[in-house]
Structure 1
Amino acid sequence: MNFDIIRTGRAILHVTDLDKSRAFYEALGFIETASDDKNLFLRGIEEHNHHSLLLKKAETPVVEVISYKVRSEEDLDRLAAFFEKQGTKVKWMEKGSQEAVGRALRIQDVSGLPVEFYAEMEPAERLLQKYHLHKGAKVQRIDHFNCMVPDVEKAYNYYINELGFSCSEYTAGEEEKIWAAWLHRKPSVHDVAYMNGFGPRLHHVGFWLKDPMNLIDGCDVLASMGYGNAIERGPGRHGLSNAMFLYLRDPDGHRVELYNGDYLTSDPDFKPVRWDLDDPMRQTFWGHEAPDSWFEEASEVLDVHSNEKVKGSEPTLKKRKPTFVT
């Protein structure tokens, strides 16, 4: 494997009302880097790149792409050659075709998800010590994607064996079939998770907070501004990953997770943690169950070549509530 994927980079979501979206994400503490009448570029307090979340005005809320940062331009060329050798069609986004991002390539991955790889993004001021600008949940940085796919083992095998991801934790059921998996490139629990369900769809984008109290701050600010019904689940602690969590729905229904407190996975002798599908603590360490919406609802995705919605399919494993994924 001769390419280096660094980490989760950015998400591009289509929204129907930029003003409503701006008010919601600013309440959480996101920083606006730039905007116009069709685009809103947001980043976290500690991020030194132009954005990690791009909201585009559209008639229908949908996911345009989820993106990973690679180390160099050469890595993009190597990835393109790798995909083309496999028969995967590559779409190049030339430098200048996207604001703030250099040359990038997009594919429809093995699960049908729209995935982008890029090496270059314009810098932005890191606001880590500009404490007077910190507000809401004080969102620090993008952390991971969670994707609902019909065949988790297919995604698991491809991203580990072909793209060099590693597994931190997974959930297995009968005959050791994998129902959910947490995969990473950076040395934390995950850059992407896959959960069993109707898909491909994006379940949520996770953003890192500096401490658990910021979850509470986020809830208080949202409630005081009339966004209480945006809180879907939590605050709580995951069994899987051991992290604190809060799940929210933005004005278009896109789900975001505020996340804090997982652990280091960089040691070469780290062994993936196995959870049994019937272990009640896998869902939430404290025991409270997720609402049905958490298992059933997710954001539809676009085809990177046709810009049409990708048609979903039912999961290959027998229907039951998917395992809890962070």
Structure 2
Amino acid sequence: MDFNILRTARAVLNVTDLEASKKFYVDALGFIETETVEDRIYLRGLEEHTHHSLVLQKAETPSVEVISYKVYAEDQLQALAKLFAEKGLDVTWVEEGEQHAVGRSLRVQDVSGLPVEFFAKMETVERMLQRYDLYKGAKVQRIDHFNCMVQDVQKAYDFYIEELGFACSEYTATEKDEIWAAWLHRKPSVHDVAFMNGKGPRLHHIGFWLSDPMSLINACDVLASMGYTKNIERGPGRHGLSNAFFLYLRDPDGHRIELYNGDYLTSDPDFKPIKWDINDSRRQTFWGHEAPDSWFNEASEVLNIHSGEPVALEDGKLKQRKPTFVI
């Protein structure tokens, strides 16, 4: 391939009340506020040296403007543009200087209808990893992954594996061996993006890495003490899929955030994807307790990169094909 996608990099969320969002993300969860510019708050985790991994921008209704991946070099964006053009996917360019702190970027509505961005350059800032005096709340360290609801998981899987160079770490299969959900990665962890069957395209959640499981517990205590008990949707618990500790939260606009720790290395070339049966209750929560209905039914609306309008939703469906895995 003429491009190298490195990792999940940032998300741009539309929120209705910047002050309420700042209180939740900065005061309760412990994100670092890099800066606020006009109606946008730029946030990062404690170990991140890039300007931000999350943008909160004022809007009338909550939605997702774009989810982003970092590539190795800026000249690789043109190769990605060529690929998307060959697949009949229209791209749009955001030139350097048109968005704060980020260099030239390429945006595209991917095969599932998700608004996806690729960029190579972002301003760097001081890493706060050893500024322990600034640690508070969940002590968020870095962005880790996206989880997306899509109409056709197999279609998304095929494109990201065969065309974008992702690899599969784990997947859920039905009794007919159809893919129900898949965890795909570029960095050597369990996933940079997961696709789950459901009404989509929608962003189900953004996962942020924490330094240890106790940070999840501490986050619950801080959230409760600040009056955010209703924002705790699911967990703490341990996933079967990924083996990670998790806590799912809903921000003041309903965007879902996962606090995440404890998955494993996937860099070995002989690593084989792990299959989970859809009827195995341990795949969602290894300890057996069920997720609430909201976790399956609710997710964030995504926008069209060209029009800025919400993307129409379709119900999820399964394809009668068995997965072919690429390591």
Whether the TM-score (by the shorter chain) exceeds 0.5 is: yes
- Tell me what 1:272 maps to: 273
Cα deviation, residue 82, structure 1 = 1.4
In structure 1, runs of 5+ residues without a counterpart are 319-326
- Tell me what 1:145 maps to: 146
RMSD: 0.8
Please state if 1:184 is matched with 2:179.
no
Aligned letter for 1:314?
D
Residues 137-168 of structure 1: per-residue CA shift (max 9 Å, x gap): 10000000000001001000110011000000
Distance 1:174 1:112 in 2: 28
Please state if 1:72 is matched with 2:73.
yes
In structure 2, runs of 5+ residues without a counterpart are 320-327
Aligned letter for 1:15?
V
Q: Report runs of 4+ in structure 1 exceeding 3 Å deviation.
A: none
Please state if 1:23 is matched with 2:26.
no
Aligned letter for 1:25?
Y
Cα deviation, residue 85, structure 1 = 2.1
- Tell me what 1:214 maps to: 215
Residues 266-306 of structure 1: per-residue CA shift (max 9 Å, x gap): 00000000000111111100111000000000000000011
Distance 2:94 2:264 in 1: 35
Q: How does 1:1-326 map to 2 (within 5 A)?
A: 1-26=1-26, 27-317=28-318
Distance 2:74 2:223 in 1: 41
Aligned letter for 1:52?
S
Cα deviation, residue 84, structure 1 = 1.4
Distance 1:109 1:39 in 2: 25
Distance 1:36 1:113 in 2: 26
Cα deviation, residue 83, structure 1 = 1.2
Cα deviation, residue 174, structure 1 = 2.6
Residues 250-269 of structure 1: per-residue CA shift (max 9 Å, x gap): 00000000000000000000
Cα deviation, residue 223, structure 1 = 0.5
- Tell me what 1:324 maps to: none
Cα deviation, residue 2, structure 1 = 1.3
SS where residue 174 of structure 1 aligns? coil
SS where residue 281 of structure 1 aligns? coil
Cα deviation, residue 228, structure 1 = 1.1
Cα deviation, residue 81, structure 1 = 1.4
Task: Give the count of matched residue pairs.
Answer: 318
Contact 2:8 2:146 in 1 (8 A): yes
Distance 1:151 1:84 in 2: 21
Distance 2:149 2:84 in 1: 22
Identity of paired residues, percent?
71
Residues 182-210 of structure 1: per-residue CA shift (max 9 Å, x gap): 00000000000000000000000000000
Aligned letter for 1:237?
R
Contact 2:103 2:120 in 1 (8 A): yes
Distance 2:133 2:294 in 1: 36
Distance 2:21 2:182 in 1: 30
Cα deviation, residue 316, structure 1 = 1.3
SS where residue 205 of structure 1 aligns? strand
